[in-house]
Amino acid sequence: MAEAAGKVNALLTSLIPHTDAPENRLYDAMRYSSMAGGKRLRPFLVIQGASLFNVSESCALRAAAAVEMVHTYSLIHDDLPAMDNADLRRGKATCHKQFDEATAVLAGDALLTLAFGVLADPKTHGDPQVRCDLIASLAHAAGALGMCGGQQFDLMAEKMKLDMGSITRLQRLKTGELIAWSCEAGAILGKQPAEIRHRLQLYAHDLGLAFQIADDLLDAEGSEAEVGKSVGRDAEAGKATFVSILGIERARAQAAMLAEQAAKHLDLFGEKGKLLRDAARFVVERRT
């Protein structure tokens, strides 16, 4: 994962330009948030998924950089006063605190737009149909039918009583759809049939839920120093979470079960799927 992060970071640095013009403040904000650290889990999933089908590393890295741009944009906007009003992200000042709110909004907008530009470039894949498939599927995962819809649901959740089914749907939209795209992108790049893509979707579904339960556990149990952002916010806001409904121990057991289930979906890939199976276990054992 660290090796993948290093390669993606190098590409992100090259894709965000420098200029002496006044708009360089925007590029600075884009770089600041893009290079603020993080596990780079989504890029790792793209790269490892692509390796199952012998996709060239240069193509996989561009898709990995694109999804990290979309993820970073979502964090910038999520931290704004209009949303979570957070001061800390990945152990550093959030974008709107380091710069200002207007620049943070523009930095998120610019990263989202650049992500689709990267996928549209022939350097990402020589077949225009593959590029269109990547763009269309990421638009679905990131838009109102995915991440943005989930964020709206999350904003409303503070005033709603949610059961397990509703929380699962919320998190599938807000977090799971982008993780699912990351898991499936390699198969799209490799022009794999529907049944292979479906197997990766099943893996992603369980991985995404395990990831979110682990996040809820970190919010309930972790420290700000460990996690790199404010903790305990869900409880303060009165939000229903996997932890608030299941309790700490049942939530931890559920996350571990989902991780093992996710790993089993990759059995058909044999040894080539080992790192993706390891990633499923990593998401529930992490402390950040």
Q: What is the pLDDT of residues 61-120, one digit of tens each?
A: 999 999 999 999 999 999 999 999 999 998 899 999 999 999 999 999 999 999 999 999
Give the Cα separation of 45 and 90 in Å (integer). 20
Record the tokens describing residue 109, joined without a space. Answer: 């907008």
Mean pLDDT of the chain: 93
Record the tokens describing residue 80, joined without a space. Answer: 């704004």
**49: Cα within 13 Å, side-chain hemisphere:** 33
Whether the per-residue pLDDT at 223 is higher than 70: the answer is no
Whether the per-residue pLDDT at 220 is higher than 80: the answer is yes
When pLDDT is cut at 50, 70 and 90, the band that residue 286 belongs to is confident
Better-scored residue on pLDDT, 244 or 182: 182
Start-to-end Cα distance in the chain: 14
On whether the CB atoms of residues 286 and 39 are closer than 8 A, the answer is: yes
pLDDT of residue 26: 97
pLDDT of residue 235: 67
Whether the per-residue pLDDT at 4 is higher than 90: the answer is yes
Q: Where are the domains positioned within the chain?
A: 2-285
Whether the per-residue pLDDT at 208 is higher than 80: the answer is yes
Record the tokens describing residue 171, joined without a space. Answer: 């998190």
278 Cα distance to chain centroid: 18
On whether the CB atoms of residues 61 and 7 are closer than 8 A, the answer is: yes
pLDDT of residue 221: 84
Better-scored residue on pLDDT, 202 or 286: 202
Q: Which of 150, 195, 210, 154 is nearest to 177 (CA)?
A: 150
pLDDT of residue 177: 97
Mean pLDDT of 28-34: 97
On whether the CB atoms of residues 93 and 87 are closer than 8 A, the answer is: yes
CATH architecture for the domain at 2-285: Orthogonal Bundle (1.10)
Query: What element of type H or E holds 284?
Result: helix 274-285
